[in-house]
Amino acid sequence: MTLSDPGSSARRNAKIWAALGVISVTIIAVVLIDGLPADETTPTLIRADPTETYDPVEAGEPPPEGFRQLLTRDQIAPVYDPEFTSADTVDWPQDMLVLAISGTSESKAYPVTHLNQREMVIDHIDGEPILVSW
């Protein structure tokens, strides 16, 4: 019996979790974008103009009863230029949770531990802008 490197097990498990996340995000994206037949009950993807969206705070709506805001609006800055490394080189724990997305030419995984601190990542996949949020 030989003992394996504990880091290799963690890397293998991280790759498995990343692959599962990519598969689930891909399935969701395909269904939302073009996987459902077009009929009156199918939701349509609409790109909103931020200058024309409704802002309940700006409109003066009161917060829900019992709501307690700890941070003011926009106090947590999103990540604008995330840095990535190869899945072969990361040494994540085997139970690391990630949000993953896959395009036609690239795949990316975002560790939930990092998203807990910053909550949003502004990024691109296959040249298209995306927002990853937690």
**Percentage, residues of the chain above pLDDT 70:** 63
What pTM was estimated for this model as a whole? 0.49
**What is the model's pLDDT at position 1?**
40
Joined together, the tokens standing for residue 38 give: 């077009």
**What is the model's pLDDT at position 59?**
82
**What is the model's pLDDT at position 5?**
52
Give the residue ranges of the chain where pLDDT is below 70: 1-46, 48, 50
Residues whose CB falls within 8 Å of the CB of residue 1, separated by 6 or more in sequence, listed in order: none
Joined together, the tokens standing for residue 21 give: 């996340």
